[in-house]
Amino acid sequence: MVYKSEKSLIRENLSGFKKFTLGALVTLSAAIIGLSPAVLTAGDNGPCIECHTKPDKLKTAEKAKINPITGEIKVVSMVIDEVTFKASAHGGEDFFCIDCHQDLDGADLTDGHKPNLKPVDCITFCHDDPADEYLQSSHVKLMKEKNKDVPTCKDCHAGVTYHYTSLGEKSPRDVPRGTDPLHRKLTIDSCGECHQEYLDSYRNNAHGQVTALGHTDTDVPVCFDCHGKHKILNSADPESKVGKERILETCGSCHANANASFVKHVEHPQIKNLNYYRKLLTAVKNARSNPEDLKTLLKNPQTILCVVFVMYIGILAFTFSAFGLHSLLSWFAVARDELKRKGHADEEQH
Partner 1 sequence: MSLKERGMQMKSSINYVRFSLFHRFCHFLIIISFFGLVLTGMPLAFRSYGWARWLYELFGGYPTAGFIHRICALITFFAAFIHFLFLFICVSVQKRKGFFWGPGSLLIQPRDIFDIVGDIKWFLGIGKRPDFDQWIYWEKFEYLSLMWGTLVMAVTGLILWFPVQFTKIIPVSVASIVDLPSIALIIHRYEAILAAGFIFTIHFFHTHLLPEKMPVDEAIFTGKITEAEFRHERLSQFKRLESQRQLENYKVAPPSLFVSFLTRLFAVPILITGLLMVGFMFSALLVWAI
Q: What is the DSSP string of 47-64?
A: HHHHHHT-GGG-S-SEEE
User: Taking the CB of residue 55, how many other CB atoms lie within 10 A of it?
Assistant: 13
State which residue, 150 or 188, has the beta carbon closest to partner 1.
Answer: 188
State which residue, 11 or 341, has the beta carbon closest to partner 1.
Answer: 341
User: Taking the CB of residue 278, how many other CB atoms lie within 10 A of it?
Assistant: 10
Compose the 323-342 pattern: x for residues touching partner 1 by CB under 8 A, - for all others: xx-xxxxxxxxxxxxx----
Binding status of residue 179 toward partner 1 by CB under 8 A: no
What distance in Å separates the CA atoms of residue 202 and residue 188, rounded to the nearest whole number? 10
User: Taking the CB of residue 36, how many other CB atoms lie within 10 A of it?
Assistant: 9
Q: CA–CA distance from 207 to each of 39, 225, 303, 320 (Å)?
A: 54, 11, 21, 29
The region of 45-53, 103-111, 132-140, 297-305 touching partner 1 under the rule CB under 8 A is: 297-305
Q: Residues binding partner 1: what is the number (CB under 8 A)? A: 53
Q: Which residues pair with 77 in a beta bridge?
A: 62
Provide the total of helices (H) and of strands (E) in the chain, helices listed first.
16, 3
Q: How many residues does the chain have?
A: 350
Among 1, 14, 33, 213, binds partner 1 (CB under 8 A): 213
Nearest to 187 by CA among 207, 162, 211: 211
Compose the 215-234 pattern: x for residues touching partner 1 by CB under 8 A, - for all others: x-x-xx--------------
- The H or E element spanning position 28 is helix 15-33
Query: Is residue 26 within 8 Å of residue 105, measured between CB atoms?
Result: yes
Among 21, 209, 218, 286, binds partner 1 (CB under 8 A): 209
State which residue, 168 or 214, has the beta carbon closest to partner 1.
Answer: 214
Among 110, 147, 257, 289, binds partner 1 (CB under 8 A): 257
The region of 19-27, 53-61, 166-174, 320-328 touching partner 1 under the rule CB under 8 A is: 320-328
Among 266, 279, 293, 297, binds partner 1 (CB under 8 A): 266
Strand bridging mode 163-165 / 73-80: antiparallel
Least distance between partner 1 and beta carbon 278 (Å): 20
Q: In this structure, what are the phi and psi dihedrals at residue 205, rounded to the nearest 5 degrees?
A: -95, 165
Among 258, 273, 282, 293, binds partner 1 (CB under 8 A): 258
Least distance between partner 1 and beta carbon 170 (Å): 23
State which residue, 99 or 293, has the beta carbon closest to partner 1.
Answer: 293
Among 50, 284, 308, 343, binds partner 1 (CB under 8 A): 308
What distance in Å separates the CA atoms of residue 100 and residue 42, rounded to the nearest whole number? 11
Residues that bind partner 1 (CB under 8 A): 203, 205-206, 209-210, 212-215, 217, 219-220, 255-262, 264-266, 269, 271, 299-301, 304-305, 308-309, 312-313, 315-316, 319-320, 323-324, 326-338
